[in-house]
Amino acid sequence: MQNNKTIDEIMNFLPPKIQWLLSRCISDHILNVEEIRLRLNKPLIISGSNWDFFIDSNGFLTKDIKNAYVTSKDDIKKASEIIQGFSVYSFGEELKNGYITIPGGHRIGVSGKTILNNGNVKIIKDISFINYRIAREIIGAADKVIPYVIDPTSTIYNTLIISPPQCGKTTLLRDMIRQLSNGIKTLNIKGFKIGLVDERSEIAACFLGEPRNDVGIRTDVLDACPKAQGIIMLIRSMSPDIIATDEIGKDEDAQALMEGANAGVKIITTMHGCDIDDLHRKIELKKIHSNYFQRIIVLGKSKGVGTIEKIYDREGKILYLST
C-alpha cells in the first residue's frame, strides 16, 4: 500500500511512454524499485537494492538487452519539461544543483551539458541523463541506533551519519528525528524540540509548507533553506534542543555547526563517505574540531540497504560493530 503510493507519486513525473510501460509492469520488483534511469538512446533501467532490469516494449521486465526499451529523445525532452514544472524560471535555480525534489521527497537528478557563468554552473542544458530516485519512509529504521546517541546527562550526543549514496542515510536521519521528537517511552526519553533545516526538502518532504513525511510532533521545519543560514536562523527563532540537517560538506556548513555547538544546541547530521577517515579528509570541514561529533554512525550495504556497520564514539573507539 505504502509502496503503491510512492510509485504513483513518481509516475506523474515520468514521460507518457515510460509511464505507460511501468503501469503495465506487474512484477513485485516494481514495488521495491529505488531508481528509474533514463539515458538518451540507451536502454531504460529500473533498479532496486541489488538488482536491475531492462523493460521491454510491452512493459515486461527483462535481462536481455536486445528486447530492452530504448529511451528516446522525445522521452527525455518531455521528462525534462515535466520535472521542471514547465517553468525554467521557477526551477532553474534548483536544477543548477543537478536535482529537483518533488512532492513526496523523491529526488530527480539530471546530468547534461553545463553552462558556466564566472566559473559557476549557471544552467544545465541538453539534459540527457535523468535519474528518478525514490525516497522511502521507513518507520523504525533508527531503533537500533537511538540507544547509542542518547546522552544520559543531557539530551543527545552530537551525531554524524556517514554513508555512501543509496545506503539509507536520509531514511535513518528522518526516523531518528521522528523518535527523538516524539519521545520514547520504553527508553524513558521525553521528546526534544527539534529544528530541521531541510535544504533539499527530502527529509520532511514539505509540500506547500506541510511535511509529507512523519518527522515527529516537536519538530519545526525550515524548508529549502541553505544549511548554514538555516542553522543560525533556527537557533534564534525556535529555541531547539537539537538541530538536524542533511549532507554537510561546505565550508560555511562547518562554521554554522560550530556556532550551533557554542549555542548549546546538539546536532544530528549526515555526510557522504565510507568511514570515519573521510570526515578528516574533507578540507571543507576542517573547521570542525576532530572530537566535535560524539557519535559517528557508519552505514553500508553489507546486509542490505541501511545496514549499520559501525558506531564510533568521539575518540574513535568502536561502540558497535555489525557482525
Instruction: Return the range that interacts with other proteins (CB under 8 A); candidates 12-20, 58-66, 140-148, 306-314.
Output: 12-20
Of 77 and 212, which has the nearer Cβ to other proteins? 77
Q: Are strands 159-163 and 295-300 parallel, antiparallel or unpaired?
A: parallel
**Cα(12)–Cα(177) distance, rounded to whole angstroms?**
29
Binding of residue 94 to other proteins (CB under 8 A): no
Cα–Cα distance measured from residue 206 to residue 73, given in angstroms and rounded to the nearest whole number:
32
Contact status: 96 vs other proteins (CB under 8 A): no
By the rule CB under 8 A, 87 interacts with other proteins: yes
In angstroms, rounded to a whole number, what is the distance separating the alpha carbons of residues 205 and 134?
12
* Length of the chain in terms of residues written: 323
Q: Coil, helix or strand for 240?
A: coil
Q: Does 88 bind other proteins (CB under 8 A)?
A: yes
Nearer CB in complex with other proteins: 6/269: 6
In this structure, are residues 152 and 30 in contact, taking their beta carbons and an 8 Å threshold? no
Q: Shortest CA distance to 255 belongs to which of 276, 285, 283? A: 285
Lay out the site mask for other proteins across 117-156 (x = CB under 8 A, - = otherwise). Answer: ------x---------------------------------
Shortest distance (Å) from residue 79 CB to other proteins? 8
Which grid coordinates belong to 50? 541489488
Query: Looking at the DSSP assignment, which residues form a beta bridge with residue 304?
Result: 302
| Minimum distance from residue 220 beta carbon to other proteins (Å) | 24
Residue choice 89, 118, 119, 165 for contact with other proteins (CB under 8 A): 89
Q: Which residues bind to other proteins, rule: CB under 8 A?
A: 12, 15-16, 77-78, 81-82, 85-92, 123
